[in-house]
Amino acid sequence: MNVYDSGRIAVILENMGYKAASKVEEADLIIFNTCHIREKAAEKLFSDLGRIEIIKNERAERGLETIIGVVGCVVQAENEQIAVRAPYVNFATGPLTYYRIPEILQRIAAEKNICVIDTDFPAESKFDFLPQNKCSGGCSYLAIQEGCNNFCTYCIVPYTRGVETSRPIEDIIAEAKRLVEGGTLEINLLGQNVNSYHGEDANGKERNLAYLLNKLSEIDGLKRLRYTTSYPADMNDELIACHKDLSKLMPYLHLPLQSGSDKILKAMNRRHTSGQYLNIVEKLKNANPRIGLSSDFIVGFPGETDDDFRATMDMVEKVNYIQAFSFKYSRRAGTPAAVYPNQVEEKVKQKRLAVLQDDLFSRQLNFNKECVGKIMPVLFESKGRKNGEIFGRTPYMQTLVAKGGLENLNKIKNVEITSGGMNSLNGVIK
């Protein structure tokens, strides 16, 4: 979602006449787009800002002005603290109000030496004010829903991105068509809780994600569809059926489980048990036997015992994820779990994370190795690290490197997989 927001900010700035600087020292305007999901992200922002302050001072000695802005969830959470901890910042705006950047920049130009902080939760949708999104390649993100009403007890998102809102069907289809006309072959629909999407159609009727996927599937020239991130309790049968019926829907789903222990899931305020989750997985595998699943996990949530952790490991075994993200629980001020009394010791969290990741990474490696010898359609996105190499993605989101010229970029090619490591595959274009 942050990558998508950054892209939209870039379009705002381009429309104002800004051009991308090749070096940070040459930039008149520097904007940090931030995430507040775990503690490290906020600390990283302040250390990055410290680095930029030096550049701002050096530029000032050369008579050059530098405007520094911060956007995103850290602003929503830290608010005025940003101006206190980093007084050289010129503006800070939350993830729902960055469409106001043009007027903020005008105010700064007129008033000088002010710090504009905008942490509003506006009644209007930012999507009604943003300039039209631009296609930036074969693969595009498209935000269809924002915010979350789930209030998992560890999570800051409902407080920073606000309550759930869904964009209207017509707006999404128009944006998707524009992206496809610009050369997009794959659209990844985004939302914090994407599968609870409930936008209105042209007649004011509420429609769900399954309806939207069916509609998007009809767009000629669009080859691939994905959606992320889904909440297990919102995986209804209609949506599961899309994985059977829609050939454009990729056989890969990110479906965060967080923990395998029902006690911990309850303490997390997740509206599903491990049994219900397995039931959804079974239905998905029945709908499309080739589907690969990925997940997010949190270890060391308050009250997590060795038995609870073992329940997570059992679930990893049962589902056999092809990919997953895993994190140590991080206390977020203002969330209920931050003040739970039974916090888990750091070294226990560390140990559990290592055990879990060991298992997850070996499953990922196994899956990648099993792909060797197969032919997979790959959407090539960019130049590889080495000359003459290009980089793309398989239907399972695996990164793939092949020898090939730039004429293959933004195209889908059949590739024979020749080797598979933990993080990427190698292959030969057929």
68/155 with CB nearer ligand 5AD: 155
Binding marks (x or -) toward ligand 5AD, 260..299, rule CB under 6 A?
------------------------------------x-x-
Concatenating the DSSP letter of every residue in 194-249 gives GGG-EEE-TTS-EEEHHHHHHHHHTSTT--EEEEE---GGG--HHHHHHHHH-TTB
Quick check: 41 and 81 in contact, CB under 8 A? no
Q: Is 68 near ligand 5AD (CB under 6 A)?
A: no
Closest contact distance (angstroms) between CB of 356 and ligand 5AD is: 12
Cα separations (Å) of 342 from 303, 311, 394? 5, 19, 43
Q: Is 152 near ligand SF4 (CB under 6 A)?
A: yes
Q: Is 161 near ligand 5AD (CB under 6 A)?
A: no
Q: Is 325 near ligand SF4 (CB under 6 A)?
A: no
332 binds, among ligand 5AD, ligand SF4, none (CB under 5 to 8 A by kind): ligand 5AD
412 binds, among ligand SF4, ligand 5AD, none (CB under 5 to 8 A by kind): none
Q: Is 256 near ligand 5AD (CB under 6 A)?
A: yes
Quick check: 122 and 95 in contact, CB under 8 A? no
Interface residue with ligand 5AD, options 327, 380, 391, 396 (CB under 6 A): 327
Give backbone dihedrals phi and psi of 267, rounded to 5 degrees, phi first. Answer: -65, -25
At residue 353, what is the residue type? Answer: L
How far apart CA 287 and CA 217 sit, in angstroms, is 17
Closest contact distance (angstroms) between CB of 318 and ligand SF4 is: 22
Concatenating the DSSP letter of every residue in 138-175 gives SEEEEE-EE--S---TT--HHHHT-S-EE--HHHHHHH
Q: What is the chain's alpha carbon radius of gyration, rounded to the nearest angstrom?
A: 23
Query: How far is residue 46 CA from its own chain's centroid?
Result: 22
Residues 295-324 that bind ligand 5AD (CB under 6 A): 296, 298
150 binds, among ligand SF4, ligand 5AD, none (CB under 5 to 8 A by kind): ligand SF4
User: Residue 33: CB partners within 8 Å, gap ≥ 6?
Assistant: 2, 5, 6, 9, 71, 72
158 binds, among ligand SF4, ligand 5AD, none (CB under 5 to 8 A by kind): ligand SF4
Question: If 0-12 CB within 10 Å is exposed, 13-18 middle and 19+ buried, where does residue 34 land?
Answer: buried
Tokens for 220? 């000629």
Interface residue with ligand 5AD, options 329, 380, 391, 396 (CB under 6 A): 329
Residues 340-399 that bind ligand 5AD (CB under 6 A): none
Interface residue with ligand 5AD, options 68, 83, 155, 417 (CB under 6 A): 155
How far apart CA 137 and CA 184 sit, in angstroms, is 6
Tokens for 302? 């308050």
Closest contact distance (angstroms) between CB of 228 and ligand SF4 is: 11
Residue 348 is classified by DSSP as: H
Interface residue with ligand 5AD, options 32, 91, 154, 231 (CB under 6 A): 154
Closest contact distance (angstroms) between CB of 39 and ligand 5AD is: 8
Write out the residues near ligand SF4 by the rule CB under 6 A: 148, 150-152, 155, 157-158, 192-193, 231
User: What residues line the site for ligand 5AD (CB under 6 A)?
Assistant: 37-38, 154-155, 256, 258, 296, 298, 327, 329-330, 332
